[in-house]
Structure 1
């Protein structure tokens, strides 16, 4: 894995930290600096990287740096964490946007293969396309969860932008996408054509009001994700200190969603996009706390995706019409899964998706002869 394209963290920030409180995060974080060079990746679990790319933003290209986020994040105190973390510095803009994509794709792919979770601080959200393409070499179908006020499907025939990257993910080969889930969409920011297309593709979409009313609703969705992206436009302008929408997640809610992403055993990369230095100190601190809660979640993973853990699951069978739904419950965490029937003549990459995370409410509804919607959608995608 070539890391020579990474630029070090601004030396002024490192100078500010010298002699400071070594009990804060900066005291336990290895930082890419001009003097010390790149940190070693041996026994590292989390790697932070900035990507200074926003040329394809439909809102216009603005100067981009992550100095203020780093100041805010480094100053926080860690929880009772047992993780080794590094800050790899930044990926600068390439000669073309495609060059930036290539650098990010290779970095994410290399880190995931080393079981290191990359946390990406990004400019425009089209960078999720590169984050997703990093999984091309990992021989698996991918579940993408996007916390966003828009679906960002766009017109796949048009050039990619920060509002159209999902369409490119769907239509461009190799076809690795198994499911796309949007959390927090706001109807007035999405055309009816896009809303109907989400339904036809059997993708999951949860309106802002649904999630706010019951935030635990999205825990099973996060538990099934491989990569997660957050568009800061999903946060309301009052809590972010910037933005255009008075509606959106508040600070507590977006941090709770970030923790759900971290605690998911399957999430292997996490991106936070649409950052602008103009957000001010309030926005910088909120972004720092979103990162903090993701790492806090990673620290409390239970690793229930292992074969040995699944042997301990309690099995429940629920007959509905001509189907027998098979549920599993973990005695360790109390979390639930439902089995998706595997079709032998379908792409074998789907073997890893035979257990779909669900909630106890899904089990209770099945007992009342109501088929869970996510199970139905996953089964239909398996059959297509």
Structure 2
């Protein structure tokens, strides 16, 4: 390859020097629209606004349920609504989504029953929904392992001759894992139609970004693997949807993987078990609050005459109804079946599993039998 061709190849992989942005924090359009990306239609933005309102209300309700002991744990994604909703809206129903434990809002946006979304976090089952039917993989807790799964699924879709795409949702901490780089390398070599969407919320639990990478931006991590990269203002839904739509189209057209880094912020603690005040100050949180993705999109739509007070009130009413239904469903007690421990361990249970299941079933049967007490008369 000539020096000129090499330079052109590298330039084609590089992300923008600054995150792509269409809308400023106050909801006004930026002075110069970014080149190479198309702003979504206003109806799409209205739909995104509705889904963001519903998603935030779901998130706050789930947080409250955790405090009430109805959930074992809940990782909030408040402040990341533009990323969660934008990721889902950029996909087709027949595309695959590979979420992390923090992406419950994305699952609700995908149309999965909120009660089923919270099944894992409630501790009732490994996954409360049907991955094959929803084309949403189980939420992944280990960092970056779902990135390999997404790449494998994307390669499978390619080999079958379809035009499906897989999207892996990733946190900034996961980009420091070996699985992340293995997935990027494999995807680039085989030109797998996968989009790696990194939600950089600035902390891997309590570890700030500067302590885990020296890269100028996480988007640059794809270049060494030959992956097209971009960075975007993750609190600007318009920009997130524009960039992700382009990334998905890039992968769907057979051009290989695409890495997108969204600069966003986790407003709440890592989980309900975390004390975020130990590693970040109130001034930082307040500064990011001014860039709130929901209020930004609402201001933008109102300025364009695409959202009225009546529209906003109707969406809030729908969100409250969702929260009420979620409370009722979560207050219903579930009856666990110990024998479910042996379900879905393997497609075909091994002899050892069958033996263990039979032993447990026998013990449970004995425990359920009424005890007979005999009395001895004097």
What TM-score results when the alignment is normalised by the length of structure 1? 0.31
Larger Rg: 2
Highest relative contact order (Cα 8 Å, sep 6+), 1 or 2? 2
What TM-score results when the alignment is normalised by the length of structure 2? 0.32
Question: Between Structure 1 and Structure 2, which shows a larger proportion of helix residues?
Answer: 2
